[in-house]
Structure 1
Amino acid sequence: MANGGEFRFFLSCDISLPLAFRVDRLLHYPTPTQPSPPQDRTTLATNKKVPELVVECKLYIDGIQFGLPVSTRLESSGPPYFWNEVMTLTAKYRDLTSLSQLAFTVWDMSSGEDGNIVGGATIFLFNNKKQLKTGRQKLRLWPQKEADGRVPTTTPGKVVPKNERGEIERLERLVNKHERGQIQHVEWLDRLFFRAMDKAKEKCERTENLYPSLVVEFCSFEHRVVFQESGANFYAPAPVLLSNQLVTVWDPELGRTNPSEHKQLKLARSLTRGIIDKDLKPSSNERKCLQRIIKFPPTRSLQVDEKQLVWKFRFSLMSEKKALTKFVRAVDWSDIQEAKQAVELIRKWETIDVADALELLSPDFESEEVRAYAVNILERADDEELQCYLLQLVQALRFERSDESCLAHFLVKRAVSNIEIASFLRWYVVVELRDTAYARRYYSTYDLLENGMMKFARDDGDEDGFRLWQSLTRQTELMAQLGSIMKDVKQVRGSAQKKIDGLRQLLSGVFSELTNFDEPIRSPLAPTVLLTGVIPQESSIFKSALHPLRLAFKTANGGISKIIYKKGDDLRQDQLVIQMVSLMDRLLKLENMDLHLTPYRVLATQPDEGMLEFIPSSSLAQILSEHRTITSYLQKFHPDEDGPFGITAQCLETFIKSCAGYSVITYIMGVGDRHLDNLLLTDDGRLFHVDFAFILGKDPKPFPPPMKLCKEMVEAMGGAESQYYTRFKSYCCEAYNILRKSSSLILNLFNLMRRSNIPDITNEENAGLKLQEKFRLDLEDEEAIHFFQDLINESVSALFPQMVETIHRWAQYWR
């Protein structure tokens, strides 16, 4: 209802979208007589005794079937049986009448080609008020009976009177409203509700005589859709003019599959050819085409002829581990028999690398068997490697078909045995609880983690699971207290020094309990470090609009841990960029190339809150203001009369290498808004970047250079003609080629972030392609060296960025 009592709605005859809905799951279907043990869910082995279910849907208009039926893929991993598959019909909403029905029939295909009917149900698309039904619908199936689309139907889906539906149906209607945004999101209340929902389901299953029920979800619109019969639906032909003017002719077949081509395609991929295909060997030209396809980046989809070629020689490709992801893309997963054969081949394929397994967890792959296979491969990664991908694996939970997926159980299992993984997994999940579309899934993962940690007991008996979990939840309490402190500090009027004094007074007075914790708290940034209290006199505030806190904590081993707390800023993008810096640093070190990078820790604890590791350093703007040159600054800390430019050789080498590393990484990531205030330098010569508000080529300033390489940095290397500058360019080119070899891993990780709530990724439709372009995969290594050297020369000689930098300095001065 609008403010004026007005009812807003859409007319069905005005909606030209095709009719679409989602087949979710089958509930309360009897368990097979010989169920597989739970641990076998992650294997690809199949058991012929397990039901193989498929849902067939037909559209009936006024009791007559309209169009061809559509079917889901085969599902055998229940109960419960999950499809989570979107079905789209050729009919459009404007074609519907008030007596339009969808008829769902569940078939068990395990007994043969014809299959056995599990049950069927029919549902009208419009209710008795002539309004289109939306949201989740639970249909009770009529056992061993095919869905009937006549009017009146003999298989109505809603056969239970309202007074008999009970508490569980009432709760399901509330969930439906919550998912459509009709109920306000309240984090703590949502969590209580979902727990109550799970308990009610358990009680219902124990006490009620439940029939098999199919859960489907209809599309929702901004306003209600009211049925309105449309008039004649035709396109008037364009008038023929006696001139050379172009005439637009509407082709109703445009974009549709050619039936003859589709038939030929199915014949070529017929399973009866499997015996012949086993002995096929590609010719020289076909081998070249296959190798070219195998080298495609993950962002490249396969054309029809390329899929055909991969499928044709699938048996000869089984020894090529890099070919598996291309084979999975070539499979028609809507064909039940073809999907079955593909699963069997995957089991026999050469074991793939962890980097390729990450690709199989992307939203491009929906098959549960394929995703379970990818999780099995991830089991081989050690804890250090797993932490490099943990942020993306938490995002990959969005693409799973169930709340308690193989991936969720895998992450919890690894977290239980490693406190660092447990702490970061908990925080990554907590941040996603704010996303209403996936809140239920992440609440489920959070509960899995909590239950897993509570049941855990260390072999040495030092710490039980309850205390470990408590040590993590106390981090949340600490963050809440820091948020209160920042709120009070912002209310202090006056200069920055007055705010710093106010912070120290708060820590010594009202929040004095923070100076000595009752029990040590694990640092959110480094969970192995135990914090024992805040040091008020060593804590301060940064001069910026958000007034970030710089806090000094005492640690259990007698040291000091300095942490930056920020409120009001989204650190998720910074967290991602630093994670990629850390990963690239690891990849370079595996090739024996240490570029002295500084991947400081960043953790987003809420969409507008987080922590950063404090690295003692100075900005290049401050250094140039106080010391005139970078060389003078380094001479102050590492003087050497016999060294180059009066600096120790080791310090200069550290500076050159770090400049090279960040030049390459910021170019690949497309980091923008680079100026001398967000380039920092430590006293041992390590240069590093901070503040990553713009990535993937975005920049608030016009005509940005490919990378930030100011003349002061070149001068510190002895100028453009010096041997040290030549060494800098050599490091850049070598690092660029090393990272190009791992481009698939980096692209796969970015692809898993596709539906995250990070602005520069979700708002950029071609984020993956932009990143891929930076690798120049079309070039050989020698060509890539010349390409990157040209980029360096372009960045150094760019005049416009120097003018912008001068303007920025004056702006900072007058501020």
Structure 2
Amino acid sequence: MDHPQLPDLPEALKRLLPSASDAVARNRDRSVSPNWCNMEAFTFAHSTQVNLPIWVKICSLEGKQREIPFSEQLENPELRWRASTDNPCSDLYVTAQLWSDSKPLGVPVQTPYKAFKTERAWNEWLEMPMSIKDAPLNLQIAITVWDLSPLADTPDHRIPYGGTTISVYDEDGMLKMGRQKCKIHRHKAADGFSSTTTPSSPPVKRRNPDNLSVLNQSKAEQELERLEPLIKKHEMGEIPRIDWMDQMLFRQIEKLRIDAGAAKDSRTILCKKLMSKGQVEDSPDEEIVDEENFVLYVDFQRYDLPILWVDHKYPPPPVSSHSQNPPTNPSSASKPAPEVRLGPGIEEGEGAGVIKIYDGEVGQTGNPCEDKHRRLIRSHRTGFMDRDLKPNPKIRDELNAVLSYEPTQSLTAEEKDLVWRFRYYLTREKRALTKFVKSVNWRDEGESRQAVEILPKWTEIDVDDALELLGPTFDNSEVRSYAVARLRKADDEELLLYLLQLVQALKYEESSFEQADDAARHSSLANFLITRAANNFKLGNYLHWYLMVECDDAPSASLSTQRRLFARVEYYFMVELEKVNSEHRKTLRRQGELVVVLSKIAKDIRSSREARPAKIELLKKMLRDPKNEIINIDPPLPLPIDPDVSVVGCYPDESNVFKSTLSPLQITFKTDDGGRYPLLFKVGDDLRQDQLVIQIIILMDRLLQKENLDLKLTPYRILATSSNAGAVQFIPSTSLSAASSQYKSILAYLKENNPDETEPLGVRKETMDTYIKSCAGYCVITYILGVGDRHLENLLLAPDGHFFHADFGFILGREPKPFAPPMKLCKEMVEVMGGQNSPHFMQFKQHCFTAYTTLRKSANLILNLFSLMVDANIQDIRLEPDKAVLKVKERFHLELTEEEAIRHFEQLIGYSANAIFGVVIDRLHEFVQGWRA
């Protein structure tokens, strides 16, 4: 069929048509030619070879917007407030989103704000969140033009101006390139459904030539349709460019567009008249009656070669090998098996509609290339040669550098190969065991077998290395059993220092077993703790309450297995207690009854709306009530918070209710030796974080005393009895704020309680020495632990000069107050020593330097303890569990030498003592507390 020609068609336009038709003819002739060897090669690229993102350029929106009659605006007032109603070139923005199989792929991307003057042209490239190699064949881009209206229901007041959906690949599976003309469906948001209602190229409807003969396209419109693919080829560079002829061509095309627009307007008016008179029976095309025929021009990226879509074929997963050798990685082993349910109403019976599906990616750890390289490097045929292998001086230095790494530092592939190669030589070095375990590929049966055989030959490791082997990184049962064997040589007092972390380490035992019951029964760590705790009541007391807190943790689906594990360990512990000493089990039961009674009293007083004096009288009445069995306790009962102390009753008249939202109770118990033991009991507060800090302070005090450095620390006892209740030992003391306000200065407070006129400051030498040492110890410890929210209310001072901190609600660098100094050393504390130039302050600094350098030597132990607490559901660790250990490590500054570390801490002391914001924070806190009072 011949195309109609316009009489004034320029020569350049005529030249385009024969060139395209001749090219098609030539290709057709070549395809049937018997001499196929002379055919031109057709070069293209596969989509899987193009690792580039999909880009789309939003060019311009063209179309004539009809003027809305005033009567229509009165009927629909919302139309009056649309931005496009007032201005035909109003500011619009465009969003684009990828869709496939009627599902969105990623989030939509948006054009930036742009003010229009004469036309709506964005000319903005948008990067879609998918690369070409990952794009499916039926990928579509849903493009929506958004208008603004203040009366819209959406939060951002947007309404759809129009939408269009365009496919990324054409019908032949070729990636679309260059300029694309997309029809805009007015007042519709683009949808990416497989049968979309907003296609960019709607299907052409067949017209009835009898009824709509007067409504056929004009010659100008027909000519524009014929020229459109040729113009696109010209833009793509498939047709040579001749500037002077192209200018003439484009001027002629512009005239055709003007004529086509006029013809369309007249045809629309005629169509409406015929429809109103009933002279048109069939519904005409949508384009004929559409007064707002908007078109959006978009650009796809152009490439030198056509890109053909090719599907990627994945090799079948090794199902049999995976099922025979389950993964040892805890993160992968903890994942549940994938399940697919048939839906509601289809399943019959329990588990009848569940289909187990194997996921080949689950459990595959490591890089196959690295595994192959490791097998070649660690060939087991050279195992006998490695026994006598010794490093040269250069390699020895490299090994020493690896052995000096802290527990948080991972090893490179080269370092792992180096440690494995000289594993027999390193058996004499106890620091090398943890590095060796990290270097073993435990998925390799031969390699893991060699590693297990060499473990008994290793030099006995320290406790800190044994704790590291019990962490979440190591899940091999033989390695964990070796670490437990080292812990068996520790005495009960040393074991108490790490018991809190050892209970948390039970969480990582379950990765080797399918059920919590198996983990509790066969775990070497669980059996060790149960055996030792059953033979030592103090150890068993704390083990019991640590387990009870974990069993009482907040309910969560992810923690249900862990809670069952702790419950089974508690059960086996009670069974062992019944065999070894049944009286101890009865004592633990009586402790539980005491805690239940105290919790009920604390809840009743907290919920009471009476004033504080009335609450105090209510507390005294409840303590005297014989039903609660607190006024007299027979036989004597060891306190859960301190089992070395047995109580026989309480003093109700000495009880108190503190002024706080939680209304903590102060109860003074009567000990069996006639003494007093005051403690605080709280309900509604999670004390596990404070319990951890106090445990670390007790450990650090023990480490310092091993170096003959007694800093007179006062680590009072804290025990969490549940996830929201616990007891705190009450130390008779006063806050620095109260001492300053009552005695005008802290120095006057110490003079009042410990006078000595022979001393320069009027305070006994022993008291001043205690104050200086305790200040130094707590300054260093609170800096390492990153304790925040320090003010004069939670800095306490005992009459004998013992200084200590309370309320550890913010640790690991968290600070609710802005510009707080890194270490709390206020001027009130320094004034007691006689100022920054006094001999006492110099002595304080020396104690700080000694304590800091001493604790840096045990940094690995402290870091390993914190790594075991990562999953302990402690508030400040739970916020960023992956950074908790790193925050402590940063404050040790292990990269510095001892001299550099001392200079660093000296700068901290100077900065903290002269910090202005610390003084401002203290004054603001005093003002707020006074206002509340």
TM over 0.5: yes
| Structure 2 gap segments, 5+ residues each | 1-100, 107-313, 360-364, 513-518, 554-559
Correspondence for 1:324 among 402, 425, 433: 433
Q: Which residue of 1 aligns with 2:377?
A: 268
**1:427 aligns to what?**
545
| Cα displacement (A) at 1:218 | 8.3
Q: Following the alignment from structure 2 to structure 1, what is the Cα–Cα distance between the partners of residues 345 and 819?
A: 53
Distance 2:629 2:775 in 1: 43
Q: How has the CA–CA distance of structure 1 residues 327 and 73 changed in structure 2, closer, same or farther, with 3 Å as cutoff? A: farther
Change (3 A) 1:412 1:14: farther
Residues 374-426 of structure 1, C-alpha deviations (whole Å, 9 max, x = no match):
00000011011000000000000000032221101100111011101111000
Relative distance call for 1:15 and 1:598 in structure 2 (3 A) is farther
Render the CA deviation track for 1:530-584: whole Å, top value 9, x for unaligned: 1111211111111111111110111122221111101100000000000000000
CA offsets per residue over residues 128-176 of structure 1, 9 Å max, x none? Answer: 669999xxxxxxxxxxxxxxxxxxxxxxxxxxx98xxxxxxx8xx79x9
Partner in structure 2 of residue 368 of structure 1: 477
Alpha carbons of structure 1 residues 439 and 492: separation in structure 2 relative to 1, 3 Å? closer
- The answer as to 2:613 corresponding to 1:497 is yes
Partner of 1:669: 785
Does 2:926 align with 1:809?
yes
Paired residues for 1:472-487 under 5 Å: 472-487=588-603
**Cα offsets for 1:434-492 (capped at 9, x unmatched):** 34241110111001110010101xxxxxxxx2221011111111111112212332354
Q: Is the 8 A contact 1:73 1:83 kept in 2?
A: no
Judging changes above 3 Å, is the alpha-carbon distance between structure 1 residues 285 and 686 closer, same or farther for their aligned structure 2 residues? Answer: same
Helix, strand or coil at the partner of 1:646: coil
* Aligned positions of 1:613-628 closer than 5 A: 613-628=729-744
**Structure 2 CA distance for aligned equivalents of residues 628 and 310 of structure 1:** 63
| 1:702–1:282 CA distance, 2 compared to 1 (3 A) | same
Alignment-derived partner of residue 443 in structure 1: 567
Q: Does 1:455 align with 2:564?
A: no
- Candidates 609, 615, 636, aligned match of 2:725: 609
Distance 1:431 1:794, change over 3 A: same
Counterpart-to-counterpart distance in 1, 2:655 and 2:668: 5
Q: Is contact 1:419-1:528 (8 Å) kept?
A: no
Identity of aligned residues (%): 46
Question: Secondary structure, in 3 states, of the residue corresponding to 1:519?
Answer: strand
Distance 1:623 1:125, change over 3 A: closer
Which TM-score applies when normalising by structure 2? 0.62
Q: CA deviation at 1:498?
A: 2.4
Aligned length: 604
CA contact (8 A) 2:329 2:475 kept: no
Question: SS at 1:665's partner residue?
Answer: helix
Cα pair 2:597 2:628 within 8 Å, conserved: no
* 8 Å CA contact 2:631, 2:651 repeated in 1: yes
> Helix, strand or coil: the match of 1:562?
strand
**Matched residue type, 2:643:** P
Quote the Cα distance in structure 1 between the aligned partners of 2:716 and 2:619.
25
Contact 1:74–1:336 (8 Å) recurs in 2: no
Match of 2:448 in 1: 339
Which secondary structure state, in structure 1, belongs to the residue aligned with residue 641 of structure 2?
Answer: coil
Deviation of the 1:283 alpha carbon:
2.0
Residues 130 and 322 of structure 1, relative CA distance in 2, 3 Å threshold: farther
SS at match of 1:701: coil
Q: Which of 546, 549, 553 does residue 669 from structure 2 map onto?
A: 553
TM-score by length of 1: 0.70
- 2:629 partner SS: helix
Distance 1:590 1:85, change over 3 A: closer
Distance 1:218 1:556 in 2: 64
Q: Deviations over 1:263-313 (max 9, x none)?
A: 333111111111222222212221111111101010111111111111111
Is the CA contact 1:73–1:333 (under 8 Å) kept in the aligned structure 2? Answer: no
Q: Are residue 412 (structure 1) and residue 536 (structure 2) matched?
A: no
Do the aligned residues in 1 keep the contact of 2:649 with 2:671 (CA within 8 Å)?
Answer: yes
1:67 maps to 317
Q: Hey, what's the Cα distance between the residues in 1 that align with 2:501 and 2:577? A: 22
CA distances 1:486-526 after superposition (whole Å, capped 9, x unpaired): 23323544432222122112222475632012432220111
- Partner in structure 2 of residue 721 of structure 1: 837
**Larger Rg over CA atoms:** 2
Asked if structure 2 preserves the Cα contact closer than 8 Å seen for 1:357 and 1:378, the reply is yes
Change (3 A) 1:314 1:518: same
What is the CA distance between 1:322 and its match in structure 2?
A: 0.4
> Residue 733 of structure 1: CA displacement?
0.5
Shift of 1:601: 0.4
Superposed CA offset, 1:687-728 (max 9, x none): 000000100000100111111000011110010000110000
| Separation in structure 2 between the aligned mates of residue 398 and residue 217 of structure 1, nearest angstrom | 27
- The one-character-per-residue Cα deviations of 1:42-66 (angstroms, maximum 9, x if unpaired) are xxxxxxxxxxxxxxxxxxxxxx982
Q: Distance in 1 between matches of 2:780 and 2:729?
A: 23
| Corresponding residue SS for 1:521 | strand
Amino acid at match of 2:573: L
Name the CA distance, whole Å, in 2 between partners of 1:342 and 1:256.
19
CA distance in 2, matches of 1:88, 1:598: 44
Structure 2 residue 714 is the aligned partner of structure 1 residue 598: yes
Residues 1:217 and 1:15: Cα distance change in structure 2 (over 3 Å):
farther
Matched residue, 1:299: 408
Which letter maps to 1:410?
F
Q: 1:759 aligns with which of 872, 875, 896?
A: 875
Match runs of 1:207-218 below 5 Å: none
1:706 paired to 2:822: yes
Structure 1, unaligned runs of 5 or more: 1-10, 17-63, 76-80, 94-101, 103-123, 134-160, 163-169, 178-214, 220-254, 457-464
Q: In structure 2, do the counterparts of structure 1 residues 13 and 72 end up closer, same or farther at CA, with 3 Å as the change threshold?
A: farther
Q: d(CA) in 1 for partners of 2:105 and 2:484? A: 42
When residues 507 and 311 of structure 1 are mapped into structure 2, their CA distance, relative to the original with a 3 A threshold, is: same
Partner of residue 746, structure 1: 862
- Residues of 2 paired with 1:610 and 1:272: CA distance? 59
Q: Secondary structure at the match of 1:557?
A: coil
SS class of match (1:471): helix
Could you tell me which amino acid in structure 2 is paired with residue 505 of structure 1?
Answer: K
Q: Decide whether the 8 Å contact of 1:73 with 1:334 is kept in 2.
A: no
SS in 2 for 1:808: helix
Structure 2 letter corresponding to 1:665: I
Whether contact under 8 Å (1:423, 1:527) holds in the other structure is yes
Alpha-carbon distance in structure 1 between the residues aligned to 2:866 and 2:718: 18
Give distance in 2, aligned partners of 1:528 and 1:360: 32
How much is the aligned-residue C-alpha RMSD, in angstroms?
3.1
Q: Which amino acid in the other structure matches residue 527 of structure 1?
A: P
- Give the one of 759, 774, 796 matched to 1:658: 774
Alpha carbons 1:277, 1:313 under 8 Å: kept: yes
For 1:288, which of 394, 397, 404 is the aligned residue? 397
8 Å Cα contact 1:605-1:611 kept in structure 2: yes
**2:87 maps to what in 1?**
none
CA distance in 2, matches of 1:793, 1:581: 24
Superposed, 1:183-332 pairs within 5 Å as: 257=367, 259=369, 262-332=371-441
In 1, distance between residues paired with 2:315 and 2:402? 43
**8 Å Cα contact 1:293/1:306 also seen in 2:** yes
Q: Which amino acid aligns with 2:709?
A: M
**Which amino acid in 1 is paired with 2:815?**
D
CA shift in 2, pair 1:340/1:491, >3 Å: closer
Tell whether the 8 Å contact from 1:492 to 1:498 is kept in structure 2 after alignment: no
